Amino acid sequence: MSYLWKIKKDSFSVEEVAHLSEFLRVHPVIARLLLKRGLRSEQSATDFLLADYDQGIYDPFLFSQMEKAVERIRIAREKGERVMVFGDYDADGITSSVILKKTLDDLGVENFNYIPDKNKEGYGLNVNAIREFKKKNISLIITVDCGITGVEETRQARQLGIDVIITDHHHIPPILPEADAIINPKIKNSGYPFADLAGVGVAFKLAQAIYRKLMPEKEEQTKWFLDLVAIGTVADCVPLIDENRVLVKYGLIVLSKTRRVGLGEIFQTGRISVDENNFPDTRKISFQIAPRINAAGRIDHADLAYNLLTETDRARARLFALEIEAQNKKRQKDTEQVVKEIEKITLNSFKDKKLIFAVSPHFPVGIVGLAAGKIAEKFALPTGVFFKNENESKGSFRSARGFNIIEAIEKCGSLLERYGGHSQAAGVSVKNENLEMFYQCLNAIVEEELSLEKIEPELEIDLELAWNEINFQLADDLKKMEPFGEGNPVPIFLARNLVVQEVKKLGNGEKHLKLFLRAQNNAPEIREAIGFGLVEKFFTLKTGDRVDLVFELEKDQWNGREKLQLKIKDLKLAERT
């Protein structure tokens, strides 16, 4: 894919950079980055870099209905009621379920966990499950990472004598369920100062409130939930700013010393280096840990991942982890096959369209979201991928930059059985008889509202650097801006007029590109640049070429030696002057 390079504009003075750099004792490039990200005061920049737990975590009782939720749970304990935690089948929902299970166990409440089968039941509350809960004398359901669209399901639960507490973080529908309490930071009058918590963040706030109000002597234990909070938050791609930044920063610390036997076995079977000497980062969660947790719900049933994360016996946890490893490999294979099929469909049927819409009875429902994400990324267009069953189709959408897919879907909501999600990702269920009408409705909205110029693939560059600014101090100080992720992306830099000293091809099949570069002015420093999977894209590159390079800066360790490495995002031949 070719990118349009877009350098973010500066809106600050040289004096501001110098002052902030000196005050924070960081490389001037870090000061420029902080200013560009809106952290213009000493206090805001300091708060961002320090991300202190005690100062950065909000009071859970700021939620306007938190008191009601905790009181209802207190009554459940007092009366010896049975409580059902109703979760979701992705990493966010599974980690949320585990946190609430442990919290209710500590409280002495008899509780059970239910995660719907993605293939048979789909997302969110469903009436059949609720009827089964009634047979088991469940009198309270607590949802995690779902429930905000369950108007009818909540009504039927209440008719059966089952109370409902909803904890969720998804888009707010026009009509809210009549639950006993709703804890969702996106509700207009939620009272909470930060709207972008993940589902696991909301579940953690409920856990905090329960411990603080009903088990204050154990409240300090809630910090040991932060490994799960970090996994669910990063996996759900919510912005890593404000409270999320604090939760993930400290969650990575807890993850490095996790007490969870199941996580330890995931690390071993997946050959994931995580311990106190191999400190994890958000990429390790995104690309290694979360996909394995998600694989259980995508291929079979999420109970496998839930059981792994709650297991205390190492031998049993090892068996669960081995099964998840096998499912993850199947997930990768299935996704690759489906993506290839959708690419053909796209080129044949959607070449001149703004919405890609692929439907098949052969697409495994567990991986339609993954496939939609890869297609949306490749073609830079909103994409829906559907598994078509006998009577109903279940699909996932991934959007293009700048287009709110859930708002568009909501306008066609009368044609759907259920839907939910975010601005960039959503899931729907639709009767087959309405599928074509839904496509026509959504396609008309996308055609009218989506500007192709607006979504042209761009590579946003934070700063252009001089060659001598690239040094070990900058690499070290960049670590202070972690954790990186949505809302706080890894900084991307541009260096111009670099001379290619040497070109190498690395890896199996020689797919990876390695360059040795120096500045045009014959500066002595030669830097290494690595481009994973980029040999084919830049196969004409040769020694002596002059290039403009877009890159991320990192330190690489090999045989006990540290070196700077430029991770290639893109490059172009430099213009002749």
Q: What are the pLDDT digits (tens) for 367-381?
A: 899 999 999 988 889
121 in Cβ contact with 147 (< 8 Å)? no
Asked whether residue 339 is assigned to any structural domain, the reply reads no
Most confident stretch, 19-28, 343-352, 397-406? 19-28
**pLDDT higher than threshold 90 for residue 247:** yes
**Furthest C-alpha separation in the chain:** 81
Residue 182 CA to its chain's centroid (Å): 23
353 in Cβ contact with 301 (< 8 Å)? no
Dist CA 550 CA 463 (whole Å)? 10
User: Do residues 469 and 443 share a domain?
Assistant: no
Last residue of a domain, one of 214, 242, 270: 242
DSSP classification of residue 289: I
Banded model confidence at residue 192, pLDDT cuts 50, 70, 90: very high
What integer is the mean pLDDT of 142-147?
Answer: 96
Banded model confidence at residue 509, pLDDT cuts 50, 70, 90: confident
pLDDT at res. 453: 59
**Cα-based torsion angle of the residue sequence 549, 550, 555, 561 in order, rounded to the nearest 10 degrees:** -20
Banded model confidence at residue 1, pLDDT cuts 50, 70, 90: low
Coil, strand, or helix at residue 85?
strand
**pLDDT higher than threshold 90 for residue 299:** no
Dist CA 455 CA 126 (whole Å)? 37
Banded model confidence at residue 322, pLDDT cuts 50, 70, 90: very high
**pLDDT higher than threshold 90 for residue 397:** yes
User: Do residues 72 and 150 share a domain?
Assistant: yes
Burial of 277 (0-12, 13-18, 19+ CB in 10 A): exposed
Asked whether residue 252 is assigned to any structural domain, the reply reads no
What integer is the mean pLDDT of 149-153?
Answer: 94
User: Do residues 198 and 234 share a domain?
Assistant: yes
Please state, for a pLDDT cut of 70, what percent of the chain lies above it: 98
The CATH number for 428's domain is: 3.10.310.30
User: Do residues 117 and 233 share a domain?
Assistant: yes
pLDDT at res. 62: 98
pLDDT at res. 455: 59
User: Do residues 466 and 507 share a domain?
Assistant: yes
Banded model confidence at residue 525, pLDDT cuts 50, 70, 90: confident
What integer is the mean pLDDT of 327-338?
Answer: 93
Going by C-beta distance under 8 Å and a sequence separation of 6 or more, which residues neighbour residue 170?
146, 148, 149, 184, 186, 199, 420, 421, 422
Q: What are the pLDDT digits (tens) for 403-418?
A: 899 999 999 999 998 8
Range of the structural domain that residue 320 is part of: 257-334
Asked whether residue 247 is assigned to any structural domain, the reply reads no
Asked whether residue 342 is assigned to any structural domain, the reply reads no
User: Do residues 219 and 87 share a domain?
Assistant: yes
Residue 258, number of CB atoms within 10 A of its CB: 21
Based on C-alpha coordinates, what's the Rg of the chain? 25
User: Do residues 487 and 547 share a domain?
Assistant: yes
Q: How far is CA 476 from CA 112, 471, 481, 553, 562, in A?
A: 46, 9, 10, 10, 12
**pLDDT higher than threshold 90 for residue 359:** yes
Q: What are the pLDDT digits (tens) for 547-564?
A: 999 999 999 877 778 889
Q: What are the pLDDT digits (tens) for 43-60?
A: 999 999 999 999 999 999
pLDDT at res. 3: 80
User: Do residues 405 and 428 share a domain?
Assistant: yes
User: Do residues 473 and 536 share a domain?
Assistant: yes
Residue 296 CA to its chain's centroid (Å): 17
373 in Cβ contact with 398 (< 8 Å)? yes
Name the residue type at position 416: L
pLDDT: which is higher, 342 or 456: 342
Asked whether residue 185 is assigned to any structural domain, the reply reads yes
Question: What is the full DSSP assignment across 534-551?
Answer: -TTTTTT--TT-EEEEEE
Asked whether residue 70 is assigned to any structural domain, the reply reads yes
The CATH number for 519's domain is: 2.40.50.460
Banded model confidence at residue 4, pLDDT cuts 50, 70, 90: confident
Name the residue type at position 263: L
Dist CA 518 CA 529 (whole Å)? 11
Asked whether residue 558 is assigned to any structural domain, the reply reads yes
Dist CA 466 CA 549 (whole Å)? 12
**pLDDT higher than threshold 90 for residue 151:** yes
Dist CA 369 CA 381 (whole Å)? 14
Backbone angles phi, psi at 428, to 5 degrees: -140, 155
pLDDT at res. 11: 82
120 in Cβ contact with 147 (< 8 Å)? no
User: Do residues 329 and 354 share a domain?
Assistant: no
What integer is the mean pLDDT of 414-443?
Answer: 92
- Mean pLDDT lowest among 213-217, 448-452, 541-545: 448-452
**pLDDT higher than threshold 70 for residue 456:** no
What integer is the mean pLDDT of 269-294?
Answer: 94
pLDDT: which is higher, 103 or 424: 103
Q: What angle do CA 213, 148, 77 make, to 5 degrees?
A: 30
- How big is the chain, counted in residues? 577
Backbone angles phi, psi at 573, to 5 degrees: -65, 135
User: Do residues 196 and 313 share a domain?
Assistant: no
Mean pLDDT of the chain: 93
483 in Cβ contact with 249 (< 8 Å)? yes
Asked whether residue 341 is assigned to any structural domain, the reply reads no
Last residue of a domain, one of 394, 415, 449: 449
Closest listed residue to residue 317, CA positions, set 360, 363, 259: 259
User: Do residues 325 and 390 share a domain?
Assistant: no
Banded model confidence at residue 123, pLDDT cuts 50, 70, 90: confident
Token pair recorded at residue 34:
């902080």
The CATH number for 95's domain is: 3.90.1640.30
pLDDT: which is higher, 459 or 119: 459
Q: Provide the domain count of the chain.
A: 4
Name the residue type at position 148: I
Last residue of a domain, one of 308, 334, 360: 334
